[in-house]
Homo-oligomer: A and B are copies of this chain.
Amino acid sequence: MRVLVLGGDGYLGWPTALHLSENGHDVAVLDNLARRGYDDELGVESLVPIEDLDTRLQAWQEVSGKQIASYVGDLLDADFVFETLRDFAPDTVVHFAEQRSAPYSMIDRQHAVYTQHNNVIGNLNLLYAIAEIDPDIHLVKLGTMGEYGTPNIDIEEGWLELEHNGRKDRVLFPKKPGSFYHLSKVHDSHNIEFACRIWGLRATDLNQGVVYGQQTPQTMLDARLATRFDYDAVFGTVLNRFVIQAVLGQPLSVYGQGGQTRGLIDIRDTVECIRLAVENRADRGEFRVFNQMTESLSVQGIADLVANQFPGPVQIEHLDNPRVELPEHYYNVKHTGLVELGLKPHLLSDTLIESMFDLVGANKHRVLPEKMIPTVRWKGAMEVKQPQ
């Protein structure tokens, strides 16, 4: 199949492109290189050095004998989007090309506006391009488990069969997102569902849990194929950050009491989930949703897991939670759709987090410890004047 991976230079887009290429698909990547720009803005770098996109693509060709085409440009540039879809003529578009950090979206007004504008309008341009150029293209769109929030009911996969006053309907699962970033993904989902409904597009929306890990079978083939590994308080995800703190001998920074629970997924399962979604297309007019996660843990539980597996002493500290979220809550997520398509999850209990310790150990001289301190606070805009 011809697969265009949007955001194919990013943390997950890049290993996804490799995994799809390895599995016989004809792959191209599209990226505006914005993720590298956020590094410059925030004064950080991936813990593991990464090569520029051309070098990566060249290395993949050397290692695998397979070519991945690249299109460098922005989804906000509608002409570029239309030209790329016409030129590459994909069967499937995998869409990772959004600003994906909740704290980044909460820095201030400008960053909230940037995030919603970039994500919502970029996705809207893409929907129009697909509808006008080839409505048979399957859109595989990355969303996040954070869209749901933490409802007091079971979280279904995107849709909910409900009964109210004796009548029934099937509705989009009601969401309560936790940041302007998470909100942008909810907005996207609504726009996509509408495009499926009125234009007969086919889409798969993947509500992904927090991803951990940095290596896939393909990225391990050559150092030039490495993907990013973020540890800073803005872009670093929680398990990855704890591993780095353990190796550095710093206390693991749990926000609040750590009772808040997250859905998690191993990076190797992420790329496999995308392959399964690509190879099992949604129907025309179908807005299909999967919860792309394999297990749930509390933040305290993740910290305990890392502390227990690290071969040395580890402290855990509790910081004031910079986010606004429930400290304790019910969390029960249905995530059987991708398993039914064939996913064989890597669970944390079976995973050698030690391999991550080694990876971090080899790169620990690159860490800027002050970048791990959370400075973005959800109540930021309110600091001048508190509610009465």
**A152 contacts across to B, CB distance below 8 A:** 167-169
In the complex, the count of this chain's copies comes to 2
Query: How far is A379 from B131 in the complex, measured between Cα atoms in Å?
Result: 9
Residue A78 at the chain B interface, CB threshold 8 Å? yes
Q: State which of A23-31, A118-126, A360-368 sits at the interface with chain B.
A: A118-126
In this complex, how many residues of chain A approach chain B with their Cβ under 8 Å: the count is 60
Q: Does A224 contact B (CB under 8 A)?
A: no
Q: Are A167 and B330 in contact (CB under 8 A)?
A: yes
On whether the beta carbons of B180 and A194 are closer than 8 Å, the reply is yes
Please tell me if A341 contacts chain B, counting CB pairs below 8 Å: no
Among residues 169 to 203 in chain A, which have CB atoms less than 8 Å away from a CB atom of chain B?
169, 171-177, 179-180, 183, 186-187, 190-191, 193-194, 197-200
Asked if B153 and A164 sit within 8 Å, CB to CB, the answer is yes
Q: Which of A45-97 contact B (CB under 8 A)?
A: 78
A109 lies within 8 A of B134 (CB) = no
Determine the chain B residues whose CB is within 8 A of the CB of A388 once the complex forms.
136, 284
Q: Does A162 contact B (CB under 8 A)?
A: yes
CB pair B153–A168 under 8 Å, yes or no, is yes
**A304–B335 CA distance with the chains assembled, in angstroms:** 50
Across the interface, A190 reaches (CB within 8 A) one of B125, B132, B177, B382, namely B177
User: CB distance B116 to A120 under 8 Å?
Assistant: yes
Q: Mark A377-388, 1 if CB is under 8 A from B, else 0.
A: 011011011011
Known: A153-B168, A176-B171, A187-B120. Is A381-B131 also a contact (CB below 8 A)?
Answer: yes
Q: Is the CB of B109 within 8 A of A113?
A: no
Whether A154 is near chain B, meaning CB under 8 Å from some CB there, is: yes
Contact of A135 among B113, B160, B179, B382 (CB under 8 A): B382
A387 pairs with B324, CB closer than 8 A: no
Quick one: which of B164, B179, B186, B285 contacts A387, CB cutoff 8 A? B285
In the complex, given contacts A154-B165, A177-B194, A200-B387, what are 8 additional A-B residue pairs having Cβ atoms less than 8 angstroms apart? Answer: A112-B124, A116-B191, A132-B385, A153-B162, A153-B163, A171-B176, A183-B187, A198-B324
Spell out A's residues near B (CB within 8 Å): 78, 109, 112-113, 116-117, 120-121, 124-125, 128, 131-132, 134-136, 151-154, 160, 162-165, 167-169, 171-177, 179-180, 183, 186-187, 190-191, 193-194, 197-200, 284-285, 324, 330, 378-379, 381-382, 384-385, 387-388
